[in-house]
Amino acid sequence: MTPRQKRMVAVAAIIAGVGIATAFALQAFNKNLLYYYSPTQISAGEAPSSRTFRVGGLVENGSVKREPGSLEVRFTLTDFNKEIGVSYTGILPDLFREGQGIIARGKLDNGQFVAEEVLAKHDENYMPPEVKDSLKPHMGAAGGTAQSTAPAPAAATAAAQPGST
């Protein structure tokens, strides 16, 4: 075999190795993806039935039911369009309550979402200036008023946070 042929075989082997490594990496990445679905998308059948995914929305008022003597909790999650029943066995986050936004990770089981993890979202009123600017035309039509997007002075921000000196 000539030196040129040896180099071509080496280049082909390197390209094949990189291609195989890329295929393995993409396959592993695809298995670890967690897609997010709303209750409306789940009721429309868009969510996978055999795969773990995330669902988010607000816990409906009056829907939280706890099983006596166990850690099992059942509640209804809504996006104000559709609702989905969620069951979870474990200790809920401190911020979990009715009317609060949550994100749950789990699978569908006969139309019921069985959560493996529940994350409670804290009440956050901040809105990026770009989003606020895009909503101004809609807010004006609805009779609302847009608030200023100017950041608060540093001294006021530090004084407003508990534990800061």
- pLDDT tens for each residue of 132-157: 554 555 455 444 444 444 444 444 44
Q: What secondary structure letter does DSSP report for 45?
A: T
Extract the tokens encoding 151.
């950041």
Q: What is the mean pLDDT of the chain?
A: 79
Which amino acid belongs to residue 158?
Answer: A
Which amino acid belongs to residue 144?
Answer: G
φ/ψ region of 90 (left if φ > 0, alpha if ψ in -120 to 50, else beta) reads left
- Report, at the CATH architecture level, how domain 36-120 is classified: Beta Barrel (2.40)
Q: Percent of the chain, pLDDT > 70?
A: 73
Residue 123, number of CB atoms within 10 A of its CB: 7
Q: Confirm if 41 and 57 have CB atoms less than 8 A apart.
A: no
Tell me how far CA of residue 63 lies from CA of 27, 36, 57, 77, in angstroms: 39, 22, 13, 9
Q: What is the pTM of this model?
A: 0.60
